[in-house]
Amino acid sequence: MLKRLLILALAAALMPACSNDFELFTEKEDIPVVYGLLSKSEDTQFVRLERAFLDKDQSARVIAGEPDSVFYSDAVVELVHLPTGDRFEMERINAADIGLPRDEGDFPTDPNYIYTLDSEVINLTGGDTYGIEVRREGGDNIAYSEALVIGDLRILTPSDPTIQRLNYQGSSSQRIRWREANEVEFFNVRLRFNYEERSPATGGEWVQDDLFWVVSNRVRANTVTFAGDEFLQFIGNALVEDPTIDRRFRSIDIRLDAVGSELAAYIDVGLANLGITSSNEIPLYTNVDGGLGVFSSTNFTEVQGFNLTSTAIDSLLDGRFTEQLNFIR
């Protein structure tokens, strides 16, 4: 759940910042701002709904600090399964009550209202389109959007940690392959390296830890390849050399994340003008009719518990990239 809220926060951060010099509107305007990422892999669906006030007579920072100005008190948020017309009303909760206050800044940290729906209630169908409707109680819609839900993902190679060991060493080509999904714009592939270490700082007790290696981002095919030594080189650079620390390998998990077309477009627009030749002005992207924001879909799958081949273990213990890290059997 925390990760999903962090993604929504990242999306919000890519929106243009408030400015007292914003003069496009001559009258005070109330603009709904919607962020929602539907995911079949999550237990709960989340939507953030806020409102942006553009007021030529009052500072944007003053408005942002007032909960009554930021949040709707009378909004109804519904998800709609368009093929059947089934509707699901979301519940507004204060995320701060479940340990998720907003980061300190111009906006209120508590309350931090979001809208939620139990995934078992809506039972998202991969490949189907869902709409989101925002309206005032007893009134008409004030914002609307649609998104295609990403279906179940499946890693094809390697797929079974009970019979397959990963030979992540040397220059030989390693491959991760997954089932194609037409509703996905791109994939991100990561490895989680699970290990444990002991040192005087841990009182000589073994303490579990992990590292994430980004194999590849923004992949539009259904396969990535890499050399085993690339993985070992990452481990060598990520861990500190310390003769007082012993380490032991535990396992490797393979994680595949999928991003829908709307979120991909949102990210692309946000990054398009952030290079060294940019004007530092973030262009606006929204797929929300009547408002601002993004409504899209994500999904992920993970295969956990892979072991390394004996050759790869030898390279981890004594190879040129990791021999100073004190890995032991």
For residue range 161-179, list pLDDT tens digits in order: 999 999 999 998 999 999 9
**Residues 100 and 236 both lie in one domain:** no
Say which residue the tokens 């243009």 belong to: 16
Is residue 312 in a domain? yes
Number of alpha carbons in the 13 Å side-chain half-sphere of residue 46: 21
Stated pTM of the model: 0.85
Do the strands 141-148 and 155-157 form a parallel or antiparallel pair, or are they unpaired? unpaired
Q: What is the pLDDT of residue 56?
A: 56
- Binned at pLDDT 50, 70 and 90, residue 269 comes out as confident
For residue range 71-123, list pLDDT tens digits in order: 999 999 999 999 999 999 999 999 888 877 666 655 566 788 999 999 999 99
**Residues 143 and 190 both lie in one domain:** no
Q: What is the pLDDT of residue 102?
A: 65
Is residue 297 in a domain? no
Pick from 149, 179, 206: which residue ends a domain? 149
Answer whether the bond into residue 161 is a cis peptide, omega within 30°: no
- Binned at pLDDT 50, 70 and 90, residue 266 comes out as very high
**Residues 44 and 170 both lie in one domain:** no
Taking phi first (over 0 means left), then psi (-120 to 50 degrees means alpha), and beta for anything else, what does residue 172 get?
Answer: beta
Distance CA 258, CA 179 (A): 12
Q: What is the pLDDT of residue 107?
A: 58
Highest mean pLDDT among 3-7, 180-184, 297-301: 297-301
Where are the extended beta strands (E) located within the chain? 29-38, 44-54, 75-81, 86-89, 91-94, 113-118, 129-136, 141-148, 155-157, 165-166, 173-178, 186-198, 207-219, 223-227, 246-259, 292-308
Q: What is the mean pLDDT of residues 200-215?
A: 98
**Residues 123 and 159 both lie in one domain:** no
The least confident of 22-36, 76-90, 112-126, 180-194 is 22-36
SS3 260: coil
**Residues 177 and 144 both lie in one domain:** no
**Residues 82 and 29 both lie in one domain:** yes
Is residue 196 in a domain? yes
The least confident of 61-75, 115-129, 285-299 is 61-75
**Residues 199 and 237 both lie in one domain:** yes
Is residue 34 in a domain? yes
**Residues 38 and 120 both lie in one domain:** yes
Residue 202, domain extent: 155-258+302-325
List C-alpha distances in Å: 127 to 81, 231, 300: 11, 34, 15
**Residues 101 and 216 both lie in one domain:** no
The least confident of 9-23, 98-112, 201-215 is 9-23
Q: CB of 68 within 8 A of CB of 74? A: no
Does residue 38 register a pLDDT over 80? Answer: yes
- Binned at pLDDT 50, 70 and 90, residue 227 comes out as very high
Q: How many domains does the chain have?
A: 2
